[in-house]
Every structure is written in structure tokens, then in C-alpha cells.
Amino acid sequence: MEKYFAAILATLMTFAPVPQVDIVVSPIATSGSASFAIQADGNLWAWGDNFFGQLGDGTRQSGENPVKIMTDAVAVSAGSFTTAAISSDATLWTWGDNRMGQIGDGTRTITERVVAGPPHGTVSTAVTEDNCRLVPTKIMDNVIYVSVGDFHMAAIRADGTLWTWGWNFYGQLLRNNLRSNNFSISIHNEPL
């Protein structure tokens, strides 16, 4: 019996080798289910889960092989299902899940549908291409830093102002109310 379990354990512990990359990548970002890397030449690559379009390749097809997303990236940040990158000209680009307005383009696209259930059905949020941005969307210029949360984002512009958008249930957008915003709002106008 011990040999049997040892054989099963050995099988489970076998890992596939990671393909060799002949160039150094930096920086990198990972979410719960996708990974991103920027090569020294600015090429941004993505792989992993893509259910919400968080890879940014124009599809919702997941994959273990890296796909090129941008050619001039200098920074990348990944949330649960949303991604952001800053290009070499300091432009902020975002893509992926937008159900809480976390893309920051002024939209919040939730498609609701009634699902059969007792006694009158329940309302659930359907994930459709209407509430996902499948390719990078330009959000703002002069960005020097971005951080993506689960359903919100924050960015710092070159003038030092802090901008936030998305879901604000816990006050994470630093607003005096708990309302979510689907567009970027400067919440700290003095340089940080």
C-alpha cells in the first residue's frame, strides 16, 4: 500500500519544465489566475486565465502560451480580473472586467439576467463581452504609477495627483461616500 501511495505522490509531484526565455523580463505582475511580463524592449506578454479578457489579447480564450499585448510597456499591474499598463509615453491603458467600473473609461457595464429558482428566480450578473474590455483602453496621460485592486484602481500622475475609480464598498477610493465610480476622479490634488 505504501508503494501505491508513493507512486501516486511521485506522479502528483511531477512538474513540467518552464520554457526557457532567452531574455530578461522585468517588471512582472500576477493576478489570481494570470501572469504578465515586460521584456527589456517594452513588449508586454500575458498568459493564464482570460475569462474576463484580462489578458488583453482581444479574446476570452485562456492559454499557457504567452501572447504579446503591447510593444511599449514600462509598467504593469494586475487585479483579480482587470489589468493596467503604462506605456513609454506615460499613457495608462486598462482592460478586462468592468462590472464595477474599474476600467475607468466612464462606463460600468453590468448585464443582469433572471435565473430560474424558487420562488420567483434570482437576479445574477452575467459575464458577457459587454462588461469586459478585451483589448487595452486608453484612460489617461502623464501616469507614473498604477495599482490594480480586485475591483478598483489607483493611479498617480506626473503632477503628483492621485486618481481612483471602481468599486468603493469599503471606502478604498478615499471618497467621503461609499458609492462606486466608473470614471477616474482626482481625490488628492496636492502633490504626494
Question: Domain 21-188 is of which CATH architecture?
Answer: 7 Propeller (2.130)
How much is the average pLDDT of 94-122? Answer: 68
Tell me what pLDDT residue 100 has. 87
pLDDT for 12-36, tens place per residue? Answer: 444 444 454 445 556 789 888 999 9
How much is the average pLDDT of 93-122? Answer: 69
List residues bridging with 34 in a β-sheet.
48
21 vs 70, more confident = 70
Residue pointed to by grid coordinates 484602481: 153
The mean-pLDDT minimum among 19-23, 108-112, 168-172 falls in: 19-23
- At residue 90, what is the residue type? A
Residue pointed to by grid coordinates 504609477: 145
- Give the global pTM: 0.75
Dist CA 25 CA 41 (whole Å): 9
pLDDT for 149-159, tens place per residue? Answer: 999 999 999 99
- Least Cα distance to 92 among 39, 139, 51 occurs for 139
> What values do phi and psi take at 185, rounded to 5?
-130, 130
| pLDDT-based confidence at residue 106 (cuts at 50, 70, 90) | confident
Tell me what pLDDT residue 174 has. 78
* Tally of residues, the chain: 192
